[in-house]
Amino acid sequence: AAGRRRFAPLIVFLEKRLTPGGYLGLHLTIGAIIVLLAGWWFGGIAEDLISTDPLIAVDHRLALWFNEHATIMVTRLVEVITFAGSPVLLTLASLVTVLMMLGRKAWYGLLAFTLTLGGGVLINLALKHLFQRPRPEFAHPLIHASGYSFPSGHMMGAMLFYGFLTVIVVRHVKQWRWRTLAPLLAFLLIILIGLSRVYLGAHYLSDVMAAAAAGLAWLAFCITGVETFQQYRTRKKKRPAAFPVRPTERTLGEARPSRP
């Protein structure tokens, strides 16, 4: 009891941060933790790239191993998998998602989706031009990709799009079977897309890992930010007037009843 009285402000602060449905509650706490951890993950990979740490040596060895052991059958299968993260498919799927949100008038969801995908594209382009890492080069490449390598655009787009769809399913579907299966399927698909980029020689392993970290951080930032903004607007509308008028009081300009 003495400890609770002594640390009462801290306990109240933690209780508010861990309240599931409260304003600035659990959603903000989880979102902030994900952003910080994913940002730290991306920063570590970027530092390894700049300082040429052992991770970069693993990049080249793994890329060369995939190129030397590639087969026609596996390459065709991997090309199908990597198409799931291609800009063409994600753009078409994004347009369908936007039309569905417009039809349902899900304005906050539309705002979060636009910021997530649109901002993610700009961040990926900015990071590519910031680091300017050349793509892997082989004597017999499996595919020919242009532009810079770090971070992977396919991987970041897949993380943002399929991650956002997973959040929608988890929030709106009541069956626990689908709420559990959706994240697992999305995780598996994102991992396969990342590995497909390494197998095809379009990216290094660190390119894929950095794209996953950056995409996860931006996804959590957008969803948490829009969720907080939505709760703020809802809380503001429900807030009572600062100076409510009592039933016995008359507002300014209200006519007094005339005496008989």
**Residue 51, class by beta-carbon neighbours within 10 Å (0-12 exposed, 13-18 middle, 19+ buried)?**
exposed
The catalytic residue among 27, 60, 69, 154 is: 154
CB-count exposure of residue 156 (10 Å: 0-12, 13-18, 19+) = buried
Peptide bond just before 151 cis, omega within 30 deg? yes
Instruction: Determine contact, residues 211/156, Cβ cutoff 8 Å.
Output: yes
- Is 154 catalytic? The answer is yes
- For the chain, counts of helices (H) and of strands (E): 10, 0
Is position 27 annotated as part of the catalytic site? no
**Which member of 69, 140, 144, 203 is catalytic?**
203
Tokens for 175? 């069956």
CA pair distance 120, 158, nearest whole angstrom: 11
Active-site residues, by number, are 154, 203
